[in-house]
Protein backbone atom coordinates (compact mmCIF):
# COMPACT_ATOMS: atom_id res chain seq x y z
CA UNK A 1 0.00 0.00 0.00
CA UNK A 2 1.26 3.49 -0.82
CA UNK A 3 2.11 5.91 1.98
CA UNK A 4 -0.60 8.39 1.04
CA UNK A 5 -3.17 5.58 1.28
CA UNK A 6 -1.91 4.62 4.74
CA UNK A 7 -2.09 8.26 5.83
CA UNK A 8 -5.65 8.44 4.49
CA UNK A 9 -6.51 5.41 6.64
CA UNK A 10 -5.13 7.24 9.69
CA UNK A 11 -7.15 10.32 8.79
CA UNK A 12 -10.26 8.16 8.41
CA UNK A 13 -9.51 6.58 11.82
CA UNK A 14 -9.47 3.17 10.13
CA UNK A 15 -7.71 0.54 12.26
CA UNK A 16 -6.19 -0.98 9.12
CA UNK A 17 -3.76 1.97 9.21
CA UNK A 18 -1.87 0.25 12.03
CA UNK A 19 -1.81 -3.10 10.23
CA UNK A 20 -0.60 -1.54 6.98
CA UNK A 21 2.00 0.55 8.82
CA UNK A 22 3.28 -2.52 10.65
CA UNK A 23 3.42 -4.47 7.42
CA UNK A 24 5.35 -1.81 5.53
CA UNK A 25 7.49 -0.20 8.24
CA UNK A 26 7.56 -2.64 11.17
CA UNK A 27 11.03 -3.99 10.40
CA UNK A 28 12.40 -0.47 9.87
CA UNK A 29 10.98 0.79 13.18
CA UNK A 30 12.14 -2.33 15.01
CA UNK A 31 15.71 -1.92 13.75
CA UNK A 32 15.80 1.66 15.06
CA UNK A 33 14.39 0.61 18.43
CA UNK A 34 16.68 -2.43 18.69
CA UNK A 35 19.77 -0.31 18.01
CA UNK A 36 18.83 1.95 20.91
CA UNK A 37 17.50 -0.63 23.35
CA UNK A 38 19.29 -3.78 24.47
CA UNK A 39 16.13 -5.83 24.89
CA UNK A 40 14.10 -7.23 21.98
CA UNK A 41 11.00 -6.99 24.18
CA UNK A 42 11.61 -3.31 24.88
CA UNK A 43 12.18 -2.74 21.17
CA UNK A 44 8.83 -4.40 20.37
CA UNK A 45 7.09 -2.21 22.96
CA UNK A 46 8.69 0.88 21.46
CA UNK A 47 7.47 -0.09 18.01
CA UNK A 48 3.95 -0.56 19.38
CA UNK A 49 4.24 2.84 21.09
CA UNK A 50 5.31 4.23 17.71
CA UNK A 51 2.07 3.02 16.14
CA UNK A 52 0.11 4.60 19.00
CA UNK A 53 2.09 7.82 18.57
CA UNK A 54 1.30 7.85 14.85
CA UNK A 55 -2.37 7.16 15.58
CA UNK A 56 -2.49 10.09 18.00
CA UNK A 57 -0.54 12.43 15.67
CA UNK A 58 -2.31 11.73 12.37
CA UNK A 59 -4.52 13.79 12.27
CA UNK A 60 -3.82 16.67 12.80
CA UNK A 61 -0.42 16.12 11.13
CA UNK A 62 -0.16 14.88 7.58
CA UNK A 63 3.46 13.76 7.25
CA UNK A 64 5.15 14.39 3.92
CA UNK A 65 7.37 11.30 4.33
CA UNK A 66 5.73 8.59 6.44
CA UNK A 67 8.94 6.56 6.85
CA UNK A 68 10.82 9.52 8.35
CA UNK A 69 7.83 10.46 10.51
CA UNK A 70 7.67 6.93 11.96
CA UNK A 71 11.45 6.80 12.38
CA UNK A 72 11.42 10.00 14.42
CA UNK A 73 8.64 8.71 16.65
CA UNK A 74 10.42 5.37 17.13
CA UNK A 75 13.68 7.08 17.96
CA UNK A 76 12.06 9.44 20.49
CA UNK A 77 10.06 6.66 22.16
CA UNK A 78 13.09 4.35 22.29
CA UNK A 79 15.43 7.00 23.66
CA UNK A 80 12.87 7.85 26.36
CA UNK A 81 12.59 4.17 27.27
CA UNK A 82 16.39 3.87 27.28
CA UNK A 83 16.76 6.94 29.54
CA UNK A 84 14.20 5.47 31.94
CA UNK A 85 16.09 2.18 32.12
CA UNK A 86 19.49 3.86 32.52
CA UNK A 87 18.12 6.04 35.27
CA UNK A 88 17.27 2.86 37.13
CA UNK A 89 20.41 0.82 36.45
CA UNK A 90 23.08 2.98 34.80
CA UNK A 91 23.61 0.71 31.82
CA UNK A 92 25.97 1.00 28.87
CA UNK A 93 25.73 -0.15 25.30
CA UNK A 94 25.79 1.58 21.93
CA UNK A 95 23.32 4.30 22.86
CA UNK A 96 25.40 5.51 25.78
CA UNK A 97 28.57 5.24 23.74
CA UNK A 98 27.19 7.19 20.75
CA UNK A 99 25.74 9.91 22.98
CA UNK A 100 29.02 10.13 24.88
CA UNK A 101 30.91 10.62 21.59
CA UNK A 102 28.72 13.62 20.75
CA UNK A 103 28.70 15.27 24.17
CA UNK A 104 31.64 17.56 23.36
CA UNK A 105 30.01 18.77 20.15
CA UNK A 106 26.58 19.84 21.39
CA UNK A 107 25.57 21.84 24.44
CA UNK A 108 22.82 20.63 26.75
CA UNK A 109 20.33 22.56 28.84
CA UNK A 110 16.92 22.86 30.41
CA UNK A 111 15.68 26.49 30.51
CA UNK A 112 13.31 28.12 28.03
CA UNK A 113 16.19 30.03 26.52
CA UNK A 114 18.10 26.80 26.16
CA UNK A 115 15.07 25.19 24.49
CA UNK A 116 15.08 27.97 21.88
CA UNK A 117 18.81 27.44 21.42
CA UNK A 118 18.17 23.71 21.04
CA UNK A 119 15.81 24.43 18.15
CA UNK A 120 18.45 26.63 16.51
CA UNK A 121 20.99 23.89 17.17
CA UNK A 122 18.74 21.43 15.34
CA UNK A 123 18.62 23.66 12.28
CA UNK A 124 22.40 24.09 12.42
CA UNK A 125 22.90 20.33 12.66
CA UNK A 126 20.63 19.81 9.67
CA UNK A 127 22.71 22.27 7.63
CA UNK A 128 25.89 20.53 8.70
CA UNK A 129 24.64 17.04 7.84
CA UNK A 130 23.23 18.22 4.50
CA UNK A 131 26.66 19.60 3.60
CA UNK A 132 28.51 16.34 4.25
CA UNK A 133 29.64 14.16 1.36
CA UNK A 134 27.29 11.19 0.85
CA UNK A 135 29.53 8.53 2.45
CA UNK A 136 30.34 10.62 5.51
CA UNK A 137 26.65 11.55 5.88
CA UNK A 138 25.65 7.88 5.78
CA UNK A 139 28.26 6.91 8.38
CA UNK A 140 27.38 9.88 10.62
CA UNK A 141 23.62 9.26 10.47
CA UNK A 142 24.00 5.51 10.95
CA UNK A 143 26.02 6.13 14.09
CA UNK A 144 24.29 9.13 15.64
CA UNK A 145 20.72 8.92 14.35
CA UNK A 146 20.16 5.17 14.05
CA UNK A 147 22.76 4.42 16.78
CA UNK A 148 24.29 1.54 14.82
CA UNK A 149 27.48 0.04 16.21
CA UNK A 150 30.75 0.94 14.54
CA UNK A 151 31.24 -2.73 13.69
CA UNK A 152 27.84 -2.90 12.00
CA UNK A 153 28.55 0.23 9.95
CA UNK A 154 31.95 -1.07 8.87
CA UNK A 155 30.50 -4.43 7.80
CA UNK A 156 27.57 -2.91 5.91
CA UNK A 157 29.66 -0.31 4.10
CA UNK A 158 32.74 -2.47 3.54
CA UNK A 159 35.09 -0.26 5.58
CA UNK A 160 37.51 -1.26 8.29
CA UNK A 161 36.51 -0.45 11.86
CA UNK A 162 39.43 1.96 12.11
CA UNK A 163 38.30 3.80 8.96
CA UNK A 164 34.79 4.25 10.39
CA UNK A 165 36.21 5.46 13.71
CA UNK A 166 38.50 7.86 11.89
CA UNK A 167 35.66 9.20 9.70
CA UNK A 168 33.49 9.75 12.76
CA UNK A 169 36.31 11.45 14.66
CA UNK A 170 37.03 13.85 11.78
CA UNK A 171 33.32 14.52 11.23
CA UNK A 172 32.79 15.28 14.92
CA UNK A 173 35.70 17.71 14.72
CA UNK A 174 34.14 19.44 11.71
CA UNK A 175 30.79 19.48 13.53
CA UNK A 176 32.41 21.13 16.55
CA UNK A 177 34.03 23.74 14.24
CA UNK A 178 30.72 24.29 12.43
CA UNK A 179 28.85 24.82 15.71
CA UNK A 180 31.54 27.22 16.95
CA UNK A 181 31.33 29.25 13.71
CA UNK A 182 27.55 29.45 14.11
CA UNK A 183 27.88 30.53 17.76
CA UNK A 184 26.23 27.40 19.16
CA UNK A 185 29.19 26.55 21.41
Find the CATH number of the domain harbouring 50.
Answer: 1.10.1740.10
> What average pLDDT does the structure give for the chain?
87
Pair 22, 73 in one domain: yes
Which of 36-40, 108-112, 144-148 comes out lowest in average pLDDT? 108-112
Q: Which residues contact 167 (CB under 8 A, 6 or more apart)?
A: 135, 136, 139, 140, 159
Pair 120, 70 in one domain: no
The answer to whether 43 and 37 have CB atoms below 8 angstroms apart is yes
Q: Which of 28, 55, 89 is the last residue before a domain boundary?
A: 89
Q: Which residues contact 32 (CB under 8 A, 6 or more apart)?
A: 71, 74, 75, 78, 146, 147
Compute CA distances 175 → 89, 128, 136, 141, 146, whole Å. Answer: 31, 7, 12, 13, 18
Q: Which of 89, 114, 141 is the last residue before a domain boundary?
A: 89
**pTM for the structure as a whole:** 0.68
Tell me how crowded residue 124 is: count the other CB atoms within 10 A of its CB: 19
What is Dmax (Cα atoms) for the chain? Answer: 50
Mean pLDDT across 40-60: 95
Q: Report the share of the chain in percent with pLDDT over 90.
A: 62
Per-residue pLDDT tens digits for 3-27: 999 999 999 999 999 999 999 999 9
Per-residue pLDDT tens digits for 65-124: 999 999 999 999 999 998 877 765 554 566 667 767 777 676 555 566 666 677 788 888
Amino acid sequence: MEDHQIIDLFWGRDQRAITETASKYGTYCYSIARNILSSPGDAEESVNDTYLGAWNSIPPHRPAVLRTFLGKITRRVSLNRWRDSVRDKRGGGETALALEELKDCAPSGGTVEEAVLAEELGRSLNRFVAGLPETERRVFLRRYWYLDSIESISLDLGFSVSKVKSMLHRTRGRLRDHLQREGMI
